[in-house]
A and B are shown apart, each in its own frame.
Chain A
Amino acid sequence: MSHLRSILNRLLQLIPVLIGISVISFLLLRLAPGDPVRLLVGDRASPETIAAVRQQYGLDLPLPLQFLRYVSNVLQGDLGLSLRFQRPVAELIGQFMGPTLFLAGYVVVLTVPPTLLLAVAAAKRPGGFIDQLIRFLGIMGLSIPVFWLGIMMARFFGAELGWFPVSGYGQTFTAHLHHLFLPAVSISIWLIPVLTQSLRQALIERSAADFITAARAQGASEREIFWRHMLPNAILPTFNLLGVMVALIIGSTVIVESVYAVPGLGRLLIAALMGRDYYVVQGLTLVFALVTVAITLIIDIISTFIDPRVEL
C-alpha cells in the first residue's frame, strides 16, 4: 500500500516538472533568433509573403496568447501541427519513435553482458594485469568521440567490408538488429566503461563484506556465493547509475542517429531545431522528459524489489 502511495506521489510530482519544462522550452525556442516561416518559404520570399504565412499559422499573435493556446491544446492531448509539414506532431513523433526506442533497448542489451563480464574479471584481482587492461580499454572507449567513432565504423564495417548497413532502420526485427548494430555499439562503447568501473568498485567492496565470509564459512560454493550474495548486493548502485545514464543514452542517440542516418527521434529533433519547427521541438522535449522520468521511476521500483530496504 505504501508502495502504491509513493508511486502516486512521484506521479504527482511529475506535473510541476512537465509544466516547468513546457514553459522553459517554449520560451527558449521563441526567444532564440530565427523564423520558421522564413526557413519554410525559402530565400526569395518577400516580407509580405512571410507576414501572410505567419498570420495563417497564428505566429503573429502575442506570445502569452500563443502559449495559453499551446498549453490548453496539450492538456486536451493535442501537441499541435508541425509548422514545416502541416502534420500532427504526435503523428511525426509516432513515426520516429520506434527506431529510437529500439536503439535504446539495444544499447542496454549490448551493454549489460560485457559490463558484468568485465567488472567481474576486473574485480577478481584488483590492481592485477586484467584489471589494468580493462581500465585502459575503458579510458580509450570513454575518450573516443561518439561521432568520430560512428563515422569510422560506418566507413569500415559498412562501406568497406559491407557487413552492416550504414543507414536506415529496416523492415523486420532481424533487419532492425542488423541496421542498428553499429549505432548501438557506438553508444555502448562509452557506456560500458562507466558502468564497469561502478560495478567493479561495488564488487570489490562486497567481496570483503562480513556476509560473504559468513557464507563461505557455512560451506557455500563460490558459484553460489557469487550469484546469491555478491552480485545482488553489488548490482544496485550500478543499476541506479544505469537509470541516470538513460538521459545520456537519449543524448547520444541524437548524435548516432545523425551519423548513421537512422530515422529516429534524434534526427527529427535536430531537423526541427534547425527549421525552428516549434511545436515539434516542444512535443519532443515533453516526450523525452516523460521517458526519462518514467525510466527513473521504474528503476527505483525495481530497486525496491532487489533490496527491500530501498524506499521510493
Chain B
Amino acid sequence: MFIPKSLFTGAVLLGLTGALSLSASAEAIRIVSPYPTTTLDPMRSAGAGNIETYGLLYSRLLRRNTETGALEAGLAESWEASADGLTYTFKLRDAKFSDGSAITADDVAFSLERVRTDKRSAYPGPLGAVESVTASDARTVVVKLKSPFAPFLGNVEIWNMGIVSKKDVEARGEEKAFTEKPLTSGAYVVKEWRANEALTLDPNPNYWRTGYPKSPDSVVLQEVAAADARISMLKAGETDAVRSVPWSQVATMKAEENIDMRLEPSTTIWITLLNHRREPFSNAKARLAAAQAIDNKMLTQAVTQGFATAANTTLPGAVDFHDKSYPGIAYDPAKAKALLEESGMVGKEVKILVAADPAQQQMALLLQAQWQAIGLKPKIETVDGGAWWEAIPKGEYDATPNWWFNETPDPDLAVRWAVCGSCGSHSYYTYYENKKVDELVDAGTREMDPGKRAEIYKEIQAISTGEVAQIPLFYAPNTVAYSKKLKGLKLTPSLQWTLEEATIEK
C-alpha cells in the first residue's frame, strides 16, 4: 500500500515552526499568584488577591517600614493623639494623585468614612471604635473615637484604608472609577487589567515617595491557579516570583540554583474549627479529648515537611502578645480516650468538612485517623470554597481544618475574629462563647499600657485554648519563591508586596 510522504513532512514542519520562535524576555517584574484581583476598590473586598493589589495602588495615612515593620509616616507626615485618647489629628503631606491633583483631607475623610459606614464595605471592623472622620482644613484630618482604642494607629494602616479620590469617584461613579483605570495615591497606576488573567501596573509618576518605585519597569500580577504551572513558570523564566509554593515542593525549590525559596514570616495560623453548637463538640470534655488525640507536632511535620511550627495557642504566633510560654494541649491518646468515654460521646459521628486542597485533605485524613483511634466516627466530606462558605456560617459541620491570618501585628482583630462570641464572627463560626473572653477582648483595646495588655491577651489565650475554642495546628510562613535576579522584593506579614523597593537585573 502507498504511504503519502507529504503528510509526514507537514507534521515535522509544524513542530519546527513551534520550536524555533523563542519568545523575548519582557521589561517587567512579574509575580504569579493563585489569588485573583476582582476589584480595584479598596472598600469592596477582603479577598487575598485584592488585598495585595490595594497596597500597590493606594497609599494610607501611615505605612509600615518594610525592614522593621514599625509604623511610620505615610500620607500623614505627622499625627498626635489628645490626652484622653479620643481624638487623633493627622497632618497630611503635600502629595498628589496619579493625575497630579492634590490629595486633600476631604479625600481622606471620604475614603475612611466609606470603609466605616458604607453598607457594602467588606471590612469596617478595624474602624469600629471610630465616631467620625472629618477634614478640619485641606491638610488636617480629625478622627474622633467613641472610646480610647489602643490598636487605632495600626488599624489605619490596614489594606482597606487606602486613600481614593473623592472627586473622581463622585464624577465617574463607583463602578466606573474602580473597574477601569482608577486614580491612585500609591506607587503604581493601572496600565491594563485583563480580568481573570493579569493586572499590569506602571510606576505612578506623581507618587509622593520620591525615588520610588526604584525600578522603572512595569509590574505584572499574573493569576494562575495550578501550583505546578506556577512553579514551571519560574523555572522557565516566565515569572519572577511565585506565591503559595506547596509544602511538598519547598525542598526541591530550595535546591534550585537560580531560585531563592523563602519562608517569610506571616501571621497565618492553621486550626481545626469545631462546631460548638452540635454534638459531639458542644461537649467540653469531647473537645478536649479531640484536641489531646491530635499529635500536632507530627501533623505539622507530615503536612508541611517541618517548614512550619506547631501552634501552642489559639492566636497566631507572629502577633504581639502571643504567649510563647503557654504549654499548649499535650498529645495523650490514652487520656483522650478516657476523657471521651467520660463525656459520653463515644461512637458519635463527626462530619469533617474539607476543601479540595492537597494539604487540607492530608490534615483531614490525619484528624480522621486519630479521632477514630479514640472512639469517634469521623467522616470526611470534600467541598470547594463556595460550598465550604455556605456550610460554615450556618454551622453545618462538626470539624474542619482551616487557616486565617491577621492584618496587623496587634492581636485585637485576631481575637475578635477567632475567639470572640459577641463580635459578629461567632468565633470564626465555631459559635464558641465565653463572656469573660468577650470582656477581655474589650478591655484589651481600652488598655494603653503594653505590659498590661500583654497580661490581658495572655489570659484570653489561656482560657480559649484551655476550653478548646479551636484546635491549634501550626503557624505557617508564607512560601514564596523568587528569581535571584530580583532584589528587594518580599511579601510582608500583612500580605503586602514591597514592590516599590524592588529592582530586577536585566
Contacts and interface: CB of A to CB of B under 8 A. Distances in A.
Contacts of A32: 386-387
Interface string A232-264: 000000000000000000000000001111010
Nearest to A221: B2
B122 A47 contact: no
Contacts of A259: 226, 228-229
A295 B235 CA distance: 39
Contacts of B14: 109-110, 177
A222 B233 CA distance: 50
B38 A40 contact: yes
B194 A49 contact: no
B255 interface: no
B232 A158 contact: yes
B495 to A, nearest CB: 12
A96 interface: yes
Contact of B120 (A53, A117, A123): A53
Nearest to A224: B2
Contact of A44 (B17, B125, B229): B125
B168 interface: no
Interface size on A, as a range, is: 35 or more
Interface in A165-201: 165-168, 170, 174-175, 177-179, 181
A177 to B, nearest CB: 5
A267 B46 contact: no
**Residue among A32, A48, A155, A167 with most chain B CB within 10 A:** A167
A239 B22 CA distance: 34
Interface stretch (B3-11, B319-327, B474-482): B3-11
Nearest to B428: A43
B68 interface: no
A263 B197 contact: yes
A196 B250 CA distance: 42
Contacts of A7: none
Interface of A: 32-36, 38-49, 52-53, 56, 82, 84-87, 92, 95-96, 109-110, 113-114, 116-117, 120-121, 123-124, 151, 154-155, 158-160, 162-168, 170, 174-175, 177-179, 181, 207, 222-223, 226, 258-261, 263, 267-268, 270-272, 274-276
6 contacts: A42-B47, A42-B122, A45-B123, A84-B195, A167-B239, A177-B21
Question: Ordered nearest first, which 6 A-B pairs have the shortest CB separation?
Answer: A34-B386, A42-B46, A159-B235, A181-B18, A52-B119, A33-B390
Interface of B: 1-4, 7-8, 10-11, 14-15, 17-19, 21-23, 36, 38-39, 44-48, 50, 119-125, 175, 179, 194-198, 222, 224-226, 228-230, 232-233, 235-239, 383-387, 389-391, 393, 404, 417, 424-425
Given A33-B391, A123-B1, A178-B17, 16 more contacts: A34-B384, A36-B386, A49-B122, A95-B194, A95-B195, A110-B14, A113-B8, A116-B4, A120-B4, A174-B21, A258-B225, A258-B226, A261-B224, A267-B197, A267-B225, A272-B196
